[in-house]
């Protein structure tokens, strides 16, 4: 394999980030481009897949221009993307409709029908995942029911990563870390179950071939080379799910290690060597061979961003005057409130909740507000509520004998020392930030760089390579007194989260009338 650099493309929910790396793991150029998420109806969430491709082309061109690198020096390309995404395409790889992404919950009826299907239990056992409208299977059934002409015209059903890889190489692929979105994926044997797909009325021939994420999908085509500036013939690996490679990039390289994600999609992912069937949680292949990920996925990570946008005018003005960061100011404010926020509890269900509730109608709430509640209490309660949401999942995992010794943090929340300490105290375990020698973070791009290097044959194993790239560890140790207090408050949080579901459903019905 020739070349001195690796290119990684991370297709996120709201933006694409492309990074150019040297083979020793140094990021020499990076660029990102945002795009809008469309919500034509309340529980819909979709995007024109061509926006992903255009963002990839633009950011590739930008990093090549910034680095002034000869494209021939790029040894290969890796791609990761958001999961539970359905992109029906033509034989040329052109999307036939906007992609339905992981936030899309339009297929409630189809999910309910699946739960009543004679094979419902075997579907869950085969794929080790629940029958929820966020997954791809209900979305496929929705497409067949509501847009049959598109379902008929579709040559292939692709996920996000597979779509961008197809644009680069012309090859249709799906890797094991993305395939669990389909309930006819035999997770233990890593293959499609044609019999199960047939029982669901889904044509298996419209599903792309399965492959490991480090396999080579193909090479950059001449047309993709013109669009991106890459050299035609540059190898491209099959790629993977963003959450799985993010776990690798945070340092989850060995069994038992756990990634705690603090972004728009929060949660946790613990590495196991056995299949755990727990419909309240999420289960997938890890990007590393022989490992799986038992995951909890929450949607409350954007709650602090909501507070910033709606109530953060004071911090926004201060940041403008001082050149500071709004989140840093909010973090400093939260540090002035005590653990427990003077008895204020926040339910971070701003867009429903995924694991372990799987409830579209769940809504955010503050409980315990008094005239003495301060802004600091409110901000800290938001941070604590997001941590409680993760702990809710951890306790479900513990019912299956899953033990966690430490949490490897990733995502935007790790920039807040206050939030990191809250998480250590809530979980009662060390909260660890693994960093590169230059102080930079791990995350999706770093994990994808290591994975691409393995796929190109430049390193034998991405796991030890990531460990080498993340030598620095900052550890937030839990305080046992605060942890005990948080466990008492968490019991109230958990009780509230279940008791309010009926009221949330009633409110959703009433809101639908307006």
Rounded average pLDDT per 10-residue block, the chain, 514 residues: 90 95 95 94 92 98 97 98 97 98 93 97 98 96 98 98 98 98 98 98 97 98 98 98 94 95 85 97 97 93 90 84 86 97 97 91 96 97 97 97 94 93 98 86 92 97 96 96 98 98 93 76
pLDDT at 175: 98
| pLDDT confidence of residue 324 | 79
Q: Rounded to whole angstroms, how far apart are CA atoms 329 and 226?
A: 44
For 261-271, the pLDDT digits (tens) are 887 678 999 99
Instruction: Cite the beta strand spans of 143-291 per DSSP E.
Output: 156-158, 174-175, 185-186, 191-192, 210-211, 216-219, 235-237, 240-241, 258-261, 266-272, 282-285
pLDDT score recorded for residue 512: 77
- The answer to whether the CB of 206 falls within 8 A of the CB of 153 is no
Instruction: Quote the CA–CA distance of 124 and 116 in Å, as a whole number.
Output: 12
Element (H, E) at 497: helix 480-499
State residue 8's pLDDT score. 98
- Using one digit for the tens of pLDDT, what is the confidence trace for 419-459? 999 999 999 999 999 988 877 778 899 999 999 999 999 99
3-state secondary structure 118-140: CCHHHHHHHHCCCCCCCCHHHHH
The ranges assigned to domains in the chain are 5-238
Q: For residue 322, give the 3-state DSSP assignment.
A: helix
pTM of the model: 0.94
Burial (Cβ within 10 Å: 0-12, 13-18, ≥19) of residue 153: middle
Q: Residue 347: beta bridge partners?
A: 365
C-alpha to C-alpha distances, 68 to 71, 77, 96, 139, nearest whole angstrom = 9, 17, 36, 43
CATH number of 5-238: 3.30.420.40
Residues 427, 478 contacting (CB under 8 angstroms): yes
359/51 Cα distance (integer angstroms): 29
Rounded to whole angstroms, the Cα distance separating 324 from 415 reads 13
> Three-class SS of residue 59?
helix
pLDDT, position 87: 98
Which residues does 509 contact at the CB level (< 8 Å), separation at least 6? none
């Amino acid at each position: 394999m020739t070349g001195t650099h690796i290119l990684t493309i991370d297709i996120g929910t709201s933006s694409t980030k492309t990074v150019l790396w040297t083979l020793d793991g140094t990021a020499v150029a990076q660029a990102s481009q945002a795009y809008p998420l469309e919500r034509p109806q309340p529980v819909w969430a979709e995007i024109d897949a061509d926006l992903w491709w255009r963002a990839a082309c633009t950011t590739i061109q930008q990093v090549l221009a910034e680095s002034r690198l000869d494209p021939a020096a790029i040894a290969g390309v890796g791609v990761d993307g958001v999961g539970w995404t359905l992109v029906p395409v033509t034989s040329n790889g052109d999307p036939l409709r906007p992609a339905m992404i992981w936030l899309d919950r339009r297929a409630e009826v189809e999910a309910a029908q699946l739960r009543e299907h004679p094979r419902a239990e075997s579907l869950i056992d085969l794929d080790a995942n629940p029958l929820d409208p966020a997954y791809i299977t209900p979305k496929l059934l929705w497409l067949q029911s509501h847009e049959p002409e598109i379902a008929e015209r579709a040559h292939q059903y692709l996920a996000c990563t597979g779509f961008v890889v197809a644009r680069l190489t012309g090859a249709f692929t799906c890797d094991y870390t993305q395939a669990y979105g389909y309930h006819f994926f035999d997770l233990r044997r890593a293959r499609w179950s044609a019999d199960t797909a047939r029982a669901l009325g889904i044509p298996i021939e419209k599903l792309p071939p399965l492959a490991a994420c480090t396999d080579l999908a193909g090479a950059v085509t001449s047309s993709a080379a013109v669009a991106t500036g890459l050299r035609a013939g540059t190898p491209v690996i099959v790629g993977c799910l963003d959450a799985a490679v993010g776990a690798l990039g945070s340092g989850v390289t060995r069994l038992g290690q756990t990634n705690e994600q603090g972004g728009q999609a929060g949660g946790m992912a613990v590495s196991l060597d056995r299949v755990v069937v727990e419909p309240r949680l999420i289960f997938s292949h890890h990007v590393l061979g022989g490992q799986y990920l038992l995951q909890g996925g929450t949607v409350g990570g954007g709650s602090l961003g909501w507070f910033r946008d709606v109530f953060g005018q004071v911090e926004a003005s201060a940041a403008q005057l001082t050149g500071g960061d709004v989140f840093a100011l909010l973090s400093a404010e939260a540090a002035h409130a005590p653990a427990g926020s003077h008895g204020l509890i926040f339910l971070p269900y701003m867009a429903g909740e995924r694991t372990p509730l799987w409830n579209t109608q769940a809504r955010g709430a503050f409980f315990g507000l008094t005239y003495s509640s301060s802004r600091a209490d409110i901000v800290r309660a938001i941070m604590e509520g997001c941590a409680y949401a993760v702990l809710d999942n951890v306790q479900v995992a513990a019912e299956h004998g899953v033990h966690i010794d430490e949490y490897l943090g990733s995502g935007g929340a790790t920039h807040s020392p206050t939030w990191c300490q809250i998480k250590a105290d809530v979980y009662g375990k060390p909260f660890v930030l693994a960093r590169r020698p230059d102080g930079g973070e791990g995350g999706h791009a770093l994990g994808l760089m290591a994975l691409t290097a393995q796929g190109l044959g430049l390193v034998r194993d991405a796991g030890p390579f990531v460990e080498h790239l993340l030598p620095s560890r900052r550890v937030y140790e839990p305080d046992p007194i605060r942890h005990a207090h948080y466990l008492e408050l968490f019991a109230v949080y958990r009780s509230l989260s279940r008791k309010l579901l009926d009221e949330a459903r009633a409110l959703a019905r009433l809101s639908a009338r307006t």
